[in-house]
Amino acid sequence: MTLTEQEKQSLIDLANEARRRAYAPYSHYAVGAALRTKSGRLYTGVNVENAAYPTTICAERVAVFKAVSEGEHEFEVIAVVTDNGGSPCGSCRQVLAEFGLDTLVLIADGRGRLIKQTSVKELLPEAFTPKDLKI
């Protein structure tokens, strides 16, 4: 899949705008995500922290779960924005792998600058996927 620079920036800007709605009173590490499905629909997500830390959820998973709840299972690209251009965590990588290792991942900083362009497959080599459950 080839995205224009304008398409990439548009997704990054959408994720950065969503990031303003993050609920991060403990870490103060706001994350925003913007996911585009193969059907062209867009879903945003933000991290939502909780005083009981294990119940916190990341922006990437919020965007994926919103998409899945609307019947979407095929993704093209996800943009993830943090102040410092942080990479998706292991749990988010695994959730993204469930829906396609070829999903493009755009990692950007709070200024909206693209820091890294990669794929789920590159972020999670030798991923455990549904095919691994087949005997």
So which residues are the catalytic ones? 60
Cα 78 to Cα 103: distance, rounded to the nearest angstrom:
7
Residue 13 falls in which region: left (phi positive, over 0), alpha (psi -120 to 50) or beta: alpha
| Token pair recorded at residue 52 | 């009981």
| Token pair recorded at residue 122 | 């590159």
Taking the CA atoms of the chain, what radius of gyration do you get in angstroms? 14
| Token pair recorded at residue 101 | 């290792």
Contact 74, 96 (CB under 8 A): no
